[in-house]
Amino acid sequence: MAGSVQYRRFRTLLIANRGEIACRVIRTARAMGLRTVAVYSEADRDAVHVSMADEAVLLGPARARDSYLNVERVLEAARKTGAEAIHPGYGFLSENAEFAQACADAGLVFVGPTAAMMTAMGSKSGSKLLMEKAGVPLVPGYHGEAQDDATLAAAAEKAGYPVLVKASAGGGGRGMRVVRAASELTAALESARREAKAAFGDDRMLIEKYVLNPRHIEVQVIGDSHGNLVSLFERECTLQRRHQKVIEEAPSPTLNAKQRETVCEAARKAAGAVNYVGAGTIEFVSDGKDVFFIEMNTRLQVEHPVSELIAGVDLVEWQLRVAFGEELPLKQDQIKLNGHAIEARVYAENPAKNFMPSVGRIKTWRTPEETDGLRIDAGYRQGSEVSPHYDAMLAKVIAWAPTREGAISRLNRGLEETDVRGVVTNIPFLSALVTHPDVRKNKIDTGFIERHLEKLTSVASAPSNVELAAAVAAILDQEAKAVSADAHSPWRTAGWMPVGRRKRVFVFRQGAAEHKVERHYGGGASTLTIGDHEIAFDYKPVGTGAIDLTLGDLRSHCAFVVDGREVYLRTRNGRFELHWVDPFGGDDEEQVGEDRIVAPLPGTVVALLAEEGANLEKGAAILTLEVMKMEQTLRAPFAGVLKRVKCKVGDIVQEGAELAEVEPAEA
C-alpha cells in the first residue's frame, strides 16, 4: 500500500544534506558501488559535497527553508536524477517524520527509521511517555501536550529550579535554555521557542529538572528489519558549551564494565520499545550515581566516528545495508571494544568574542595526513565559502589509540597541525581544552567549559625570538617566490648587489606591543638583531607555507601564512598572529565608535529588547540577531542611554550594519 516501508537494494542514493556529513555519506556510498546525487543551495554552488557526487541538483535560495528544508524540491531532485533512496544525514530533515513518510509515499527508500518510529522516539515528549511505560528511568519534568505558559510554569515549579527548557523537536543545543529562577522563565521560553521554530519548524517545549554537575552519556544503537538490534558501546559527550557538544569520546571514561553493560542494555530496551530499525542514539544524563533517559535521536549523530573506531565498523555502510533489507553484519556478542577514540568539532567561530560565528572565504586549509589513528571528516577546503546561513562546523578531527591518554595526545597533535585561515576558528580553544589537566584526568561535567572559559580562551603569549625570526623568514620566502614568478624581474638572477653589509628593519605588532627586528645580510652570514642580541639566521623552505628555521644553534620547524601584511605563525610555542607594520605609514585603520551597536555578521533581527530613551546598564540586552541558526544578543558596551534604534524585527542586516546607538552616561 502507499506509504508502506520497502527495504530493497538500490543503485542511486540522494544525500539530502550538505557539508561534512554529505561528504561522509558520499565516500561510503561510492565505496559500495552506489551512484550518488548531491543537492545544494545557491550559497553552496561550489561546495565540496557538490563536486564529490556523481550528480548535483540546485534546490533553491540560500535560506534552508527555501532549499534543504523544502521537502517537495528534495523529492523532485530524486525524481529528476532517478534516485531510488535518500540519506538525510543529520540536522535538516533527518528527524522529520513527514519527510520520511513523503519518501515512502513517493516509493523512495528512506535510509533511517520509519515515520512511525520517528514520531514515537524522535519527539522528546513522546519518547519520554514511551520510556515511562517501558520502565526506563527519566529526569523529573514535564513532557505533555499543553504548551501554555501557565502549564509550563507550574511544571517548572513542581520540578524545582533550576530547570532546563528544551525544544521537543530540538537537537544541537538549539531551543534550549537553563532557567535558574521563575522570573527568568517567560523570557527563556520566548527565546527558545523562537530559535526552535527557526531551526526545526516546531516550537513545542518540555521542562526538565536541571541535573547539577551532570555528565552526558549516550549509546549508539542500530537495528535491522529482521528484528536484530545491537548497541555499539557508549560515548561520553560531557564537554559541552551552550548544550552543544564540543568534544566526544568512546568509550566513556566514567563507566566501569558493569555500568557500561547496564546503560547499553537500557539503550537496547529503549530502542526495542518501538522495534527500532536504522541507526540511532539513546541519550542519558548522570548525576554521578544514577543514569536518566533524556531522549532518542533517530538519526546518525555528529559524533558517530568515535563509535566506529572503537567497534571497527562503518555505520553509514550498516545504515545502507539495513536499507537494502539485509541483516546486520554482526550480532551483539561479536562486537568487541578496541581502544579509545576522541573527536573535536572544528567550528568557524571566535572564542575570544563569545564564540561569535565567523564567515568568509577559506584562504588556507591545511590538515595533517590521515595516518596513525588520525581521521579528519571535513566538508570544506581551500577556497570554500563559509556562509552565515548554516551551521558553522567545518570539520571533525578524530583520533584513535589503544589508550585514552594516547588518543588525547594524538588528537592534540592533529589539531596543532591543522591550519585554517580566512575565517576565525576554535582550533586553539580545542587544543587548550583537550590538554587541560582536568580533562586528561576526567574531572569534568557539562559546566566545565563555562567555568574555565577565561583560561581556555586566553590570548596568545608574546612572540619569542623564534616567532619574530620565523615572521622575517616567512616574508622573505614570500618575496622570493613573488620575484621567481615574475619572468621580467631584474632580481631573478643572482647578479649585481651593492658592496658591503646591508640592513633591513622589520616591525611587527601584536595588539598594542611592537617588536623590532633588524636583518643584516651581504658580505657574510645573515644575522638578526632582536633587542640587544645579534643572532645567526638562516631558513630553508620545506613545502608550501613551511620552513626549517635556524636561529643561532637552534633549528625549528615553523608553519606560516602571509596574507598581505598579516603574518600567521605556528611554532613549537603555539600559534601567533602578527601585523607587519608598513614602513611607509600605510597602516591607519578606520575605527568604529564604541557607541555604535553593529551587526557582527549577516543575520536577521528577531527581537528588540530595549526601547529608545531607555537607561542601560553595561551589558544590558539591546537586540537579538539570528546568525547561523543560533541567536546572538547584542548588549550595551557601557552604561548609558539608548539614543537610537536603527532596525526593526524581521530586518535582514549585513555585517557591519549599524543597528543602534548608545550615549554614554557621562554625556
Q: Compute how many other C-beta atoms are within 10 angstroms of the C-beta atom of residue 583.
A: 11
Centroid of chain to Cα 294: 22
What whole-number distance in Å separates Cα of residue 390 and Cα of residue 42? 12
Nearest CA to 224 out of 310, 296, 329 is that of 329
Q: The C-alpha cell of 393 is what?
A: 562546523
Identify the DSSP state of 11.
Answer: S
What whole-number distance in Å separates Cα of residue 194 and Cα of residue 356? 19
Is the peptide bond between 162 and the residue preceding it cis, with omega within 30 degrees of 0? yes
What whole-number distance in Å separates Cα of residue 324 and Cα of residue 291? 35
Residue 631's SS3 state is strand
Q: Over the range 81-108, which residues count as b (16 or more CB within 10 Å of their CB) and which as e?
A: bebbbbbbbbbbbbbbbebbbbbbebeb
At 508, give phi and psi (nearest 5°): -120, 140
Q: Considering the candidates 18, 299, 375, 421, report the single residue annotated as catalytic.
A: 299
Nearest CA to 301 out of 369, 374, 245, 238 is that of 245
Residue with cell 571535513: 378
Q: Label the pairing between strands 85-87 and 109-110.
A: parallel
Q: The C-alpha cell of 426 is what?
A: 576554535
Longest CA–CA span in the chain (Å) reads: 92
Q: Label the pairing between strands 502-510 and 630-635.
A: unpaired
Instruction: Give the Å distances, CA to CA, from 354 to 242, 429, 632.
Output: 11, 12, 10
Alpha helices per DSSP H over 135-229: 149-159, 185-200
How many helices and strands (H and E) does the chain possess?
Answer: 17, 39
Instruction: Give the Å distances, CA to CA, from 467 to 414, 574, 578.
Output: 21, 10, 9
Extract long-range pairs of 535-542: CB within 8 Å, 24+ residues apart.
Answer: 535/465, 535/469, 537/469, 537/472, 537/473, 539/473, 539/476, 539/477, 541/477
To which H or E segment does residue 365 belong? strand 364-366
- For the question of residue 299 being annotated catalytic, the response is yes
Residue 136's SS3 state is coil
User: Is the backbone of residue 514 left (phi > 0), alpha (psi -120 to 50) or beta?
Assistant: beta
Q: Compute how many other C-beta atoms are within 10 angstroms of the C-beta atom of residue 128.
A: 24
Q: Compute how many other C-beta atoms are within 10 angstroms of the C-beta atom of residue 518.
A: 14
What whole-number distance in Å separates Cα of residue 543 and Cα of residue 575? 19
Contact (CB, 8 A) for 573 and 461: yes
Q: Compute how many other C-beta atoms are within 10 angstroms of the C-beta atom of residue 366.
A: 17
> Known catalytic residues?
299
